[in-house]
Amino acid sequence: MAGTIEGGRQAAKTNKQRYGEDFFKIIGGKGGSISSGGGFSYNRELARTAGTKGGRISAEKRARSIRETGYDPLLRRQSRAYTRTSPEDSE
């Protein structure tokens, strides 16, 4: 029954039997208290670096898509800036 509502109820019942009625209260209290101070809110340089990498990857994917298809998914229209014209069209 894993992944079902009934399976979740059975797992909760088993955990309470094994570890006591306050099992979920205890593990819920540990949530933020065991943090070692990592993450983006504590390290602004790490956040900046990760944002730069993500933005660059996203921009590269978008540019490649526009070059290949001529369609800009963000603007939801054909992109005139990236559409290729053949030499015959310019004459």
Determine the average pLDDT of the residues in 25-51: 82
pTM: 0.36
C-beta atoms surrounding 70 within 10 Å: 14
Higher pLDDT, 29 or 14: 14
Residue 16 has pLDDT above 80, yes or no: yes
**Between the CA of residue 2 and those of 8, 9, 11, 29, 71, what are the distances in Å?**
7, 10, 9, 25, 43
Of the listed ranges 36-40, 41-45, 68-72, the one predicted with least confidence: 36-40
